[in-house]
Amino acid sequence: MSEEALSIIDKRTQATYEIPICDGTIRAMDLRKIKTGPDDFGLMTYDPAFMNTSSCRSGITFIDGDKGILRYRGYPIEQLAGKCTFLEVAYLILFGELPTEPQLTEWVDQITHHTMLHETSKRFLEGFRWNAHPMGMLVSTVAALSTVYPEAKQVLDPDSRKLQIMRLIGKMPTIAAYTYRHTHGFPYIYPDNDLSYTENFMNMLWRMMEPKYQANPVIAKALDILFILHADHEQNCSANAMRAVASSQADPFLSIAAAAAALSGPLHGGANEEVLKMLDVIGSKSNIPAYIEKVKAGQFKLMGFGHRIYKNYDPRANVIKWAADSVFEVTGKNPKLEIALELERIALEDEYFIKRKLYPNVDFYSGIMYQAMGFSPEIFTVLFAIPRTAGWLAQWQEMITDPEQKIARPRQIYTGPMVRDFVPIEQRGVPAAV
């Protein structure tokens, strides 16, 4: 028996069990042997929303939510944001080590040569209404790429996986930019291979009649930092969707579409858009106390606050705050920043937020930065999806190569009627109101 173990007495049978403890966890399957008799299925755990369940072993991202620590492959997020480019970090997340110079050159070259969309894929986008939400367009277009690359179904082939990874990281900014151009009725702009990842994204978004797009280096750098901050965040809702869908061996384009769909919700990546709407509703600093009272009364949540894992300041919010200064020097201060800072100050002194350990998360300040850079709120979550694609793909690779993983299939506690005889329609009477 392992030295670290849990002794359990089943008071139903008085039987005792030794359950090994490994890495601070017990294996849920070890509970199955706890039975009242041969016909008993065995004990299960009940954990709605995965509040206390590890679904995998992962070496990608480390978070200590109480201390406010975030590391990719062991490197603190602050160091990566200060010293790396996004593509360097994407390489680290995907392959486990920071690239050497030749490896980085080759990686950047490979991504740069996978940025174009098939012309027919551009036409998928044309079918959307002008006011379609960019996240809906992004999710659908990524899913549609599955039909363009049928060989992506070879998910057990490492070479095929690497090719799809390069395609997805390369094409995501192109799709994102085209959703924006579609909304504005502007012609789509082809990628420019002379530019960096973020400069090229800005080129595809904002180039008009000029023959060559000149990205503002401060904005391009700030966008790159924001991409680094959003690259991965361990087993969040969208990473879990990616792993769950891909566990059926669905191709990565369809799995990424599922992950992006999960990201779109206001409790996940959609929160940055909601923060801006909230700051608009608040309107001025003098309205903050009344707004906070309504939050405390349970009328609505303070968007951009709180986190399942962080019970301390989200370290990404701290990095955004220091990166914001350089952006505001170029763009001028976003007036919403004043409201946000005051909102944070008041909330962090309030017993309601202190007691529940509710701090600003990454979405609280990212939207203000994005808006200052010239993005409109509808595209904020798309800006989150671009870098998170690297994280989703790393989670996918890790899942598919983990011999312990199988198709994801949780159990349930059935609460419906056990067995009933069919009732013909004319004998059913008036049903209770649904």
Ligand X SMILES: CC(C)(COP(=O)(O)OP(=O)(O)OC[C@H]1O[C@@H](n2cnc3c(N)ncnc32)[C@H](O)[C@@H]1OP(=O)(O)O)[C@@H](O)C(=O)NCCC(=O)NCCS
* Residues annotated as catalytic (active site), given as ranges: 268, 307, 363
Residue closer to ligand X (CB basis): 181 or 388: 388
- As measured in angstroms, the least distance from the Cβ of 364 to ligand X is 7
- As measured in angstroms, the least distance from the Cβ of 299 to ligand X is 10
381 binds ligand X (CB under 6 A): no
The angle, 0 to 180 degrees and rounded to 10, between the axes of the packed helices 217-229 and 86-95 is 20
Q: Which tokens hold the place of 47?
A: 């954990």
Any bridge partners for residue 17, and if so which? 8
Site map (CB under 6 A) of ligand X, residues 248-277, x = contact: -------------------x---x------
- Report which residue's Cβ sits closest to ligand X: 306
230 binds ligand X (CB under 6 A): no
Cβ contacts of residue 145 below 8 Å, gap of 6+?
121, 167, 171, 253
391 binds ligand X (CB under 6 A): no
The 10 Å Cβ neighbour count of residue 91 is 23
Any bridge partners for residue 64, and if so which? 69
Residue closer to ligand X (CB basis): 118 or 301: 301
295 binds ligand X (CB under 6 A): yes
Q: Which amino acid is at 317?
A: A
Among 305, 359, 380, 384, the residue binding ligand X under the rule CB under 6 A is 305
Among 73, 243, 307, 388, the residue binding ligand X under the rule CB under 6 A is 307
Nearest to 385 by CA among 372, 366, 405: 366
The 10 Å Cβ neighbour count of residue 216 is 16
Residue closer to ligand X (CB basis): 197 or 364: 364
Site for ligand X in 15-74 (CB under 6 A): none
Contact 251, 164 (CB under 8 A): yes
- As measured in angstroms, the least distance from the Cβ of 276 to ligand X is 12
- As measured in angstroms, the least distance from the Cβ of 388 to ligand X is 12
The 10 Å Cβ neighbour count of residue 232 is 27
Cβ contacts of residue 102 below 8 Å, gap of 6+?
none
Residue closer to ligand X (CB basis): 128 or 313: 313
3-state SS, 139-158, equals HHHHHHHHHHCHHHHCCCCH
Stretch that binds ligand X, among 7-15, 57-65, 285-293, 305-313 (CB under 6 A): 305-313
Angle at 369 between CA 267 and CA 132, to 5 degrees: 55
CA distance 172 to 377: 18
CA distance 274 to 363: 9
Distance between terminal CA atoms of the chain? 53
- As measured in angstroms, the least distance from the Cβ of 274 to ligand X is 7
CA distance 340 to 365: 8
323 binds ligand X (CB under 6 A): no
Q: Which amino acid is at 343?
A: L
Q: Which residue has the tokens 């992004």?
A: 138
Nearest to 27 by CA among 59, 53, 58: 53
Residue closer to ligand X (CB basis): 252 or 270: 270
- As measured in angstroms, the least distance from the Cβ of 362 to ligand X is 6
Residue closer to ligand X (CB basis): 203 or 381: 381
Cβ contacts of residue 255 below 8 Å, gap of 6+?
242, 245, 246, 392, 396
Size of the site for ligand X (CB under 6 A): 16
Site for ligand X in 128-157 (CB under 6 A): none
Residue closer to ligand X (CB basis): 136 or 266: 266
Among 118, 308, 311, 333, the residue binding ligand X under the rule CB under 6 A is 308
301 binds ligand X (CB under 6 A): yes
Residue closer to ligand X (CB basis): 356 or 411: 356
Stretch that binds ligand X, among 61-69, 138-146, 242-250, 295-303 (CB under 6 A): 295-303
User: Do β-strands 5-10 and 15-20 pair in parallel, antiparallel, or remain unpaired?
Assistant: antiparallel
- As measured in angstroms, the least distance from the Cβ of 358 to ligand X is 5
306 binds ligand X (CB under 6 A): yes
Site for ligand X in 328-367 (CB under 6 A): 356, 358, 361-363
- As measured in angstroms, the least distance from the Cβ of 25 to ligand X is 20
Which chain residues interact with ligand X by CB under 6 A?
267, 271, 295, 301-308, 356, 358, 361-363
